[in-house]
Structure 1
C-alpha cells in the first residue's frame, strides 16, 4: 500500500506534469519546423525504448518512450535526438532533400525552429496563469506594515507599524507579493525601501537577512527577509478579479517575475549569496508535484506553469545539445557567414552533454541529500 501511495501520490503527478510540458515544448519545434518545410522523422515524449506509437502520413513516428525525463523531435538528416546533423547521410542527399533537413534549411528557419520550443513553454505558462487569474482571481494584500519583528532589518532601518511600502530600490510596488518577491532573492544585499509615512516618503536603507524557512510540507528553503508582518498575515486581504485581457497581462507579468527571479538566483549563486543546494532535480520535482497534488488541481496547474518557464529557460542556456547552444552556433554562423566546422560542433556537443549530465547528477545529489536530511 505504501508503494502504491508513493506511485499515485508522487510519481504519477510528476509524470503527467512533465509529459505535458515536454509535449508542448517539442510541439513548438515540430510545428515551426513543419511550417519551415523541414521533415520530422520522430516525435517522442520520453527517452529510451518505445512503449507505444504510430507513424502518420508524413512519415513521422509519434511515440511514448520508457524514461519520462524529457523528449525530442528528430528532424530528417539528424544523427541523434540532439539534432546533431548526420554529415555522411546529408552529403549523399539531393538539393531538394537537403532543403528538408534542419541542417540544410535557411539560417532563419533553423533559428525559428529551435527557438520555438522554449517560446512554446513561455506561452503555455502565460496561458495557465491567465486562466487561473480569470477563474480564481488573485489574492493580494496592500504593503502596509502591521508589525515590525524584533532584531530585524526593518527595525534597524526604522520601519514603523502603519508605514506603507511604496518602492524597493526605486521600483514601485503595489502589493505585499511585490515586496516578498523582491526581498526573498536578495539575502545580504543592501536595498533601499521607500515608505510612505504621514504623507511623506522616506528612504530607508536595509539589508535583508539570510533566513532558513520551512514550508508547509517540511521543505527547507533559504531566502532574504526584512522582518515585517503585514495585514495579509493577519487575514486581511482581498481578491482581485480580471477580464480575460487583463488576466493575460497578469500572466505575462507573472511569467516575467519567474524569469527575473531565476536570473537573480543564478547571479546569487556566483556571488555566494545563495547556496547551490537549493538546485533541485527530478526527485525534487516529483516531490513538489505530489505535494501540490495534495492541495488540489489548481495548485498542480500552477506548478506546471512555473516548471514550464523553468524548462524554457533551461533550454535557452548557451550550452551545446540544448536549444540555446544551437542558437549560439547560428549566431556565430550569421557573423562568420558560414557554419562552424562539423568537428568543432561535435566536440562542443560532447562538452555540452557532459555539462548537462553533471548538472543533473549534482541536482539529483541535492535531492537525495535533502530527503535524507
Structure 2
C-alpha cells in the first residue's frame, strides 16, 4: 500500500523457486497510474500473482443463486461447460465471468455417474461492467509447501512492527492526498461508503487478519482526514489556534462562520464525489 503515495523507484526482493537465488528488482513508479475503473494494484504494476491449480470440485453452493437452480451439489466434479473441457477451477470462473445471462450446459461427475445440468448464468455489475456468476465456490485451495511461510513475532516486536507500518501508511495517505490535489491521481480513485463496505466484505472473506488490516487502513485514512486544515474538523480547529497565536487575538465570529460554511461545502463535495464513484463502479 505505501507504493501508492510515492514517485520514487521502489525495490522488491524476489527469490527463485528453482535455484533459491535472491535478487533485488526496482519498480519505476514515476509514471505509474492505476485505472480507476479497474483498480488492481498488482496488474497495474505488471505483476500476475501465482495461484495454484484448483481442481474443479464444488466446495459450496450458495442459496438462491444460478448454481442452486442448476442443481449443483457439494463435491460435484465439473467436467465441461458448453462442451469446453474444464480441468481447473479458474477455467470455469473465467468462462462464467465472460458470459453473463447465458444459457450453459454443465457436464458433471457425481457419485460415479456423469450428468448434464442446464441453466443460465447470472449477471452482476462490477466497476460498471456486466459479469456472469453462478454462486458456487471451489474446495479449499492447497498451496505448495515451499510457498508457505509462517512468521511469528513476540508482543513487543509485533507492537514495533505495527507502529512502523502505521507511520508508513500515514505518510502514504498524506502523499495520496497530495497527488489528488495536484491532479496526479484522478478523483475517480476516491471511494464512498459503498466502496468501503465492499472492501470490508472482500477483506472479511479473506480472513480475520485481512479484515483487521482493512479496518486499520480505514481508521488511519479517517484520522489523516480529520487533521487536515479544514474548518469543522480537528485540523481546522488547530489551524484557528495557530492563527490566533500568531495574531495574538481571536478570530472574529464572521470569519469563523465563513470557515464553517467552507468546511461544510468541502466535506459535502467529498461525500458526493465518493458516492458518485461508488455508483459508477456498480454500473
When normalised by structure 1's length, the TM-score is 0.42
Q: Which residue of 2 aligns with 1:143?
A: 13
User: How has the CA–CA distance of structure 1 residues 256 and 144 changed in structure 2, closer, same or farther, with 3 Å as cutoff?
Assistant: same
| Equivalent in 254, 257, 271 of residue 346 of structure 1 | 257
1:146–1:228 contact (8 Å) kept in structure 2: no
User: How has the CA–CA distance of structure 1 residues 331 and 269 changed in structure 2, closer, same or farther, with 3 Å as cutoff?
Assistant: same
Cα distance between partner residues in 2 of 1:223 and 1:294: 19
Q: Which residue of 1 aligns with 2:231?
A: 320
Cα distance between partner residues in 1 of 2:222 and 2:197: 15
> Is residue 330 from structure 1 mapped to residue 241 from structure 2 by the alignment?
yes
Q: Which residue of 1 aligns with 2:24?
A: 165
User: How has the CA–CA distance of structure 1 residues 367 and 252 changed in structure 2, closer, same or farther, with 3 Å as cutoff?
Assistant: same
RMSD: 3.3
Give a deviation string over 1:138-158, Cα, whole Å, max 9, x none: xxxx812649xxxxxxxxxxx
Pairwise mapping of residues 189-208 of structure 1 onto structure 2 (< 5 A)?
none
User: How has the CA–CA distance of structure 1 residues 211 and 350 changed in structure 2, closer, same or farther, with 3 Å as cutoff?
Assistant: closer
1:187–1:223 contact (8 Å) kept in structure 2: no
| Gapped regions of structure 1 (runs ≥ 5) | 1-141, 148-160, 169-178, 189-208, 214-218
Task: Identify, as 1 or 2, the structure richer in helix.
Answer: 1
User: How has the CA–CA distance of structure 1 residues 294 and 237 changed in structure 2, closer, same or farther, with 3 Å as cutoff?
Assistant: closer
Cα distance between partner residues in 1 of 2:242 and 2:254: 18
Give a deviation string over 1:183-231, Cα, whole Å, max 9, x none: 6xx350xxxxxxxxxxxxxxxxxxxx54549xxxxx8216585546799
| Equivalent in 203, 212, 221 of residue 39 of structure 2 | 221
Q: Which residue of 1 aligns with 2:176?
A: 265
Cα distance between partner residues in 2 of 1:296 and 1:248: 21
User: How has the CA–CA distance of structure 1 residues 223 and 274 changed in structure 2, closer, same or farther, with 3 Å as cutoff?
Assistant: farther
Q: CA deviation at 1:266?
A: 2.2
Q: What is the SS of the residue equivalent to 1:144?
A: strand
| Gapped regions of structure 2 (runs ≥ 5) | 1-11, 53-143
Give a deviation string over 1:165-193, Cα, whole Å, max 9, x none: 27x6xxxxxxxxxx7xxx6xx350xxxxx
> Is residue 294 from structure 1 mapped to residue 205 from structure 2 by the alignment?
yes
Q: What is the SS of the residue equivalent to 1:238?
A: coil
User: How has the CA–CA distance of structure 1 residues 299 and 361 changed in structure 2, closer, same or farther, with 3 Å as cutoff?
Assistant: same
Q: CA deviation at 1:232?
A: 11
Cα distance between partner residues in 2 of 1:211 and 1:371: 18
Pairwise mapping of residues 99-178 of structure 1 onto structure 2 (< 5 A)?
143-144=13-14, 146=16, 164-165=23-24
Cα distance between partner residues in 1 of 2:274 and 2:38: 16
Q: CA deviation at 1:274?
A: 2.2
User: How has the CA–CA distance of structure 1 residues 187 and 278 changed in structure 2, closer, same or farther, with 3 Å as cutoff?
Assistant: farther
Cα distance between partner residues in 2 of 1:335 and 1:316: 20
Cα distance between partner residues in 2 of 1:231 and 1:297: 22
The size of the alignment, in residue pairs, is 177
Q: Which residue of 2 aligns with 1:28?
A: none
